[in-house]
Chains A and B, each alone.
Chain A
Amino acid sequence: MAAAGGLVMTLTVDASLTQGAFMLTVALRAGPGEVVAILGPNGAGKTTLLRAVAGLLAVDSGTISIDGDMLDDPARAVFVQPAQRRIGVVFQDHRLFPHLRSVDNVAFGLRAQGMSRTRARASAHQWLDRLGLGALAQQHPRRLSGGQAQRVALARALACCPRALLMDEPLAALDVQTRAEVQGELREHLGAFAGPTLLVTHDPIEALLLATRIIVLENGQIVQQGTPAEITSRPVTPYVARLVGMNLYAGTATRGFVALDGGGELVVSEAIDGPAFVALRPSALTVHVAEPHGSARNVWPGTITSLAPLADRIRLTVAGPQTVLVDVTASAVADLNLVPGRAVWLAAKATDVTAYAAGPEAHVQNA
């Protein structure tokens, strides 16, 4: 345990709390320097989790601790007030104090910890400089752009030397152009932070770009966690599959075959048995106007129901035993006259079909 004055901390959450009919149950650990994205749809409980860690909500059972220092433990009547937790929060709407200049916003936490005004201001200036905001130190928040306000909020949270950092949809409030600009910087600043970071988002791009690990939260439950690569290649819920642009089917595997729950069967290269998921990349499928006879082990007929343009290709939705997303080029659409209502054949090589066992926590919900 060295580096940066004992800042190396592990955040541990194993708790549940109920809000009306909604119940959140989460167990997670975030180590020093880790950026853990909590990814999930609206209403999944992401912000509730973040508020519980910050101390703005109390959990009903379980514990929240940081490096053995208990923050919330209802069984032992422990609840540390947010002001004593030393956990930095960057709120989605930034929540800069409108009556204070940038430098005094950043100095606020240091002043609250008892630092003299002069020293707190000096430290605040350093943080602003570090985040490239030196020129804006004397501005009031209403004069800042969304990206600038977000960085001031980050500087304000980091200036207090927090033991962990929480960010709520850090990029959601920014316009598209600013997002691109801020993403890179944010990645850099999060990388420089020695403690654990929890980053709440409903945007998979944000999670993939900023996080070292992703936890997928749905309906108050963790449904999947892993590295960005694991999450994108092996989604276990329709929500994640849709986010990462994969076709995902649940079924039962028997030696190279997976019988899909909704009907149909796929030949796969993995030799697994029992409940399984099958993931199919839309670009791995081929479209044919007549039944193809080739090496592809999976061939089935379907009907095009819609076309949607993506950046560099066209995404077809094809109805059949299962609804499938297929990506083709614009010229293929023109050459094959792929229009809604057209009957086509789809083909996929067994080696392009990823099958994996459905784990105990990997239950598919109806989307």
Chain B
Amino acid sequence: MTGRRRGRRRNVDAPPALVIAPALIGIVFLVLPTLGLLIRAPWSSLGAIYADTEVADALRISLVTSLQATVLSLLFGVPLALVLARQRLAGIGIVRALVLIPMVLPPVVGGVALFLALGREGFVGRYLDQWFGFTLPFTQHGIVLAQTLVAMPFMVITMEGAFRTADRGLEEAAATLGASRSRIFTRVTLPLVVPSLVAGTVLCWARALGEFGATVIFGGNVPGSTQTMPTAIFTAFQTDPQNAVALSLPLLIVAVVILGALRDKWLRPVASS
């Protein structure tokens, strides 16, 4: 499509004047906090702050746990999404609603719920403890679980939509060519949904990286062990807000990098296959 044609279409598609003012307010509101972060960042003392605090540990723990949570979400969320999208079964709608609850549940509540289920006294956790001597709360495994609980629904919902809209005709064609169901899934269906897979993975990872509520309840906040970037920022903010600003900058950089990486795959209006 040429620029000239798009220019002409804009006359018809242009938003009405009515929405311009609220849209502008929306832009200001969304951009202002980021600007504030950049303006008030203690640029000159950044080095000292990073050297003083456990930021390196927190960043490392955040990256490791959020990536593990993303891998878990891929391993379990993608198959779950396929089942939700394709399994014709009474009650599948209820299953969908149940598994998506953590997405709308306040993460703090998710953390409490995790505690009740998998804590040392939890109705599942106590057997893990008794039989295997395995405890989850206040460990990095616990953090990974807390992040997975909150982030996986984003993977599920993204991939379920992708599996629903993937061209079933291509799967039929593959079947007539003698491909088994698993071969159709790996060689046809999955390649077709790669853009959604990328979007879902990044969305899921970003959510895991920023996870605070469930993490702080179930994982704790011990520097060097279970303190992630968000919990470190929270701790710093209570004692020295300048440090909190400095710690926030790496996460802002991550956010910008994600947006940049997704610019082609995700932010552009959906490309036809």
Contacts and interface: CB of A to CB of B under 8 A. Distances in A.
Given A95-B170, A98-B273, A112-B183, A89 B188 contact: no
A157 B183 CA distance: 17
A84 interface: yes
Contacts of B191: 97, 99
B176 A87 contact: yes
Contact of A83 (B170, B179, B188, B194): B179
A112 B178 contact: yes
B11 interface: no
B264 interface: no
A91 B191 CA distance: 21
A160 B177 CA distance: 7
B109 interface: no
A95 B172 contact: yes
B64 interface: no
Given A95-B170, A99-B191, A99-B192, A82 B183 contact: no
Interface string A227-252: 00000000000000000000000000
Interface in B256-273: 273
B177 A112 contact: yes
B86 interface: no
Interface in B175-190: 175-180, 183, 187-188
Contacts of A353: none
Interface string A147-158: 000000000110
Interface of A: 54-56, 81-89, 91, 93, 95, 97-99, 108-109, 112-113, 156-157, 160
B180 A112 contact: yes
A24 B252 CA distance: 62
B37 interface: no
Given A97-B188, A99-B191, A91 B173 contact: yes
A36 B196 CA distance: 43
B169 interface: yes
A254 to B, nearest CB: 53
Contact of A84 (B167, B178, B187, B194): B178
B173 A95 contact: yes
A89 B178 contact: no
A52 to B, nearest CB: 13
Given A99-B191, A99-B192, A108-B187, A89 B176 contact: yes
Contacts of B41: none
Contacts of A160: 177-178
Contacts of A88: 176
Contacts of B176: 54-56, 82-83, 85, 87-89, 157
A87 B172 CA distance: 12
A81 B192 contact: no
Given A99-B191, A99-B192, A108 B177 contact: yes
Given A56-B172, A89-B173, A83 B180 contact: yes
Nearest to A98: B273
Given A82-B172, A99-B191, A112 B179 contact: yes
Nearest to A107: B177
B38 interface: no
- What are the 4 closest A-B residue pairs judged by CB atoms, nearest first? A109-B177, A95-B173, A112-B179, A82-B175
Contacts of B178: 83-84, 86, 109, 112-113, 160
A95 B178 CA distance: 15
A213 to B, nearest CB: 23
A109 B174 CA distance: 8
Nearest to A141: B273
A88 B177 CA distance: 7
A108 B174 contact: yes
Interface string B158-177: 00000000010110111111
A164 to B, nearest CB: 11
A205 B188 CA distance: 35
Given A109-B179, A112-B179, 8 more contacts: A56-B172, A88-B176, A95-B172, A99-B192, A109-B178, A113-B178, A160-B177, A160-B178
